[in-house]
Amino acid sequence: SQELEQSPQSLIVQEGKNLTINCTSSKTLYGLYWYKQKYGEGLIFLMMLQKGGEEKSHEKITAKLDEKKQQSSLHITASQPSHAGIYLCGADMNRDDKIIFGKGTRLHILP
Amino acid sequence: DAGVIQSPRHEVTEMGQEVTLRCKPISGHNSLFWYRQTMMRGLELLIYFNNNVPIDDSGMPEDRFSAKMPNASFSTLKIQPSEPRDSAVYFCASIMGQGAPGNQPQHFGDGTRLSIL
């Protein structure tokens, strides 16, 4: 069974619109990581969240971790073509260096 | 700063052949991870090392897969004999882990796209 569920699996959004991607676990997360991947390339680290209720922003991307530390959301405001790609959430579930990844959300931005 | 370096970027070979993938972690990082990414299964952890010692290889699919880390700056993932179902993108990542203050994000290489015919 998948320990980390991402939704939606894919998303098509008109340029300029806002969007949200979710990442849910049945276990408490000790660290939550958001990465972005472009086709044929490696994963680029976006943000890391550790504390319940924590929120971080970078440019037009905001990530939040809920108080129970079991769900995170990634919100993009006024989407641009450069935001297109695969977004993956990863989680530290055992307080070690292992990260379990969700299957990713494929984001397409329509001009 | 040099990131995680993987080679080759692409590999196409016939089934039954031995395949060796290489990874150079970021200098100073002491944990190294090998992942496999497919459409069906997403990104799966195969094995990880800390201070050159394999810590968890529970994700290694079969005995055909083996990984080594002879020193802090080099690791290999070997598949022998290779099969078509091994076709995937293989990523290497490194981290300053196990004892470093706070959780640290893993830094990924660009991956090796492997095709077994």
- A8-31 residue pLDDT tens: 999 999 999 999 999 999 888 888
End-to-end CA distance of chain A: 37
Closest-CA distance, A106 to chain B, in angstroms, reads 11
pLDDT in tens, A63-102: 999 988 899 999 999 999 999 999 999 998 887 778 899 9
- Please provide residue B62's backbone torsions phi and psi, each rounded to the nearest 5 degrees: -150, 175
Under an 8 A CB cutoff, do A99 and B102 touch? Answer: no
Strand partners, A72: A23, A65
Closest-CA distance, B60 to chain A, in angstroms, reads 14
List A residues 14-73 in contact with B (Cβ-Cβ < 8 A).
Answer: 30-31, 33, 35, 40-45, 48, 50
8 A C-beta contact, residue A73 and residue A7: no
Size of chain A, expressed as the number of residues it contains: 111
CA distance A62 to A21: 11
Under an 8 A CB cutoff, do B45 and A88 touch? Answer: no
At A46, the pLDDT band (50, 70, 90 cuts) reads very high
Under an 8 A CB cutoff, do A41 and B110 touch? Answer: yes
Q: What is the mean pLDDT of each run of 10 residues along chain B (117 residues)?
A: 91 97 95 94 93 92 94 96 96 79 81 97
- Please provide residue B84's backbone torsions phi and psi, each rounded to the nearest 5 degrees: -55, -35
8 A C-beta contact, residue B90 and residue B111: yes
- The whole-number average pLDDT for the span A47-73 is 93
Give me the amino acid identity at B33: F
| Interface size, chain A vs chain B, as Cβ–Cβ contacts under 8 Å | 52
